[in-house]
A = this chain, B = another copy of it.
């Protein structure tokens, strides 16, 4: 069923819900899902509606025009999207296949509602798997002494493919600040620890050294500060003294791919609102 997704953040106050609901009711909008959140700490209000597209007399532009006065009245930061216009997601990977294979399978079996115009990797390893899915594979090697040309090429590809989302599916390279800024809240990373524990390299080694009893993974938007962006989703799995680093890596892979796919789904369905480096996730 095709829906419009109306996502709103604004300073809290009386009458917002009524105004928005009224607007929708006036045009006979059939709401299939509605979520609200009042954040008492910062005084902001967040709202998401999913409305049957065929119940409304608008297309997206028509909706935008009609809704603009309300948005202005309440100083809303808002967006409306159409479930029929699929997001275009560029996947980036390195050598590890588990996250990429998981996303590709979900996409192929219709479980992940998006287009994947291409996959970019700094290695050749995963080409055959990607091409079997009928998706172009771009090998963009990263020269450790001079990384900028590679990131320029990545940036060019993302633009050429008109992508609106980039997923770092264990890409293992740190994006330069200009890319982070340019694609703000559009680049999703999976970090293989339960952040803020074990920022940076080799988190399973760090976890083993500290002797933690659970390891985890974190899906977050990428910002300039390493592993410090807004967290979308996290999960953990139990480990014991018996689990070597190798076993942790294996157990961690399952958490990583689950957490990444859940986080990406929230993003694709416009369920995530970023505010103050934190997320509201209307799951």
**B-contacting residues of A (Cβ < 8 Å)?**
14-15, 17-22, 24-26, 28-41, 46, 55, 97-98, 101-102, 105, 109, 111, 132, 194-198, 208, 210-214, 216, 230-236, 240-242, 244-245, 250, 253-254, 258, 277-281, 283
Contact = CB atoms under 8 A, between A and B. Distances in A.
Contacts of A196: 197-198, 210, 212
A194 B214 contact: yes
Contacts of A19: 25
Nearest to A198: B196
B17 A25 contact: yes
Copies of the protein in its oligomer: 4
Contact of A234 (B35, B101, B214, B278): B214
A275 to B, nearest CB: 9
Contacts of A250: 111
Contacts of A24: 17-18
Nearest to A25: B18
22 contacts: A14-B28, A14-B29, A14-B30, A14-B55, A18-B18, A18-B26, A32-B38, A37-B241, A37-B242, A41-B208, A41-B245, A98-B105, A111-B253, A132-B132, A194-B197, A196-B197, A211-B230, A213-B232, A213-B281, A214-B235, A240-B281, A254-B258
Contacts of A253: 111
Contacts of A231: 210-213
Contact of A22 (B18, B29, B36, B109): B18
Contacts of A21: 17-18, 20-22
Given A21-B18, A24-B18, A216-B214, A33 B39 contact: no
Contact of A41 (B28, B33, B244): B244
Given A17-B31, A195-B212, A214-B216, A39 B230 contact: no
Nearest to A106: B98
Given A21-B22, A197-B194, A231-B213, A241 B132 contact: no
A101 B101 CA distance: 9
Given A101-B105, A241-B281, 14 more contacts: A17-B25, A18-B21, A31-B38, A35-B35, A40-B244, A41-B244, A98-B105, A102-B105, A105-B105, A195-B210, A196-B198, A212-B234, A213-B232, A241-B278
B105 A109 contact: no
Nearest to A45: B31
Contacts of A33: 36, 38
A45 B216 CA distance: 27
Nearest to A274: B211
A14 B29 CA distance: 7
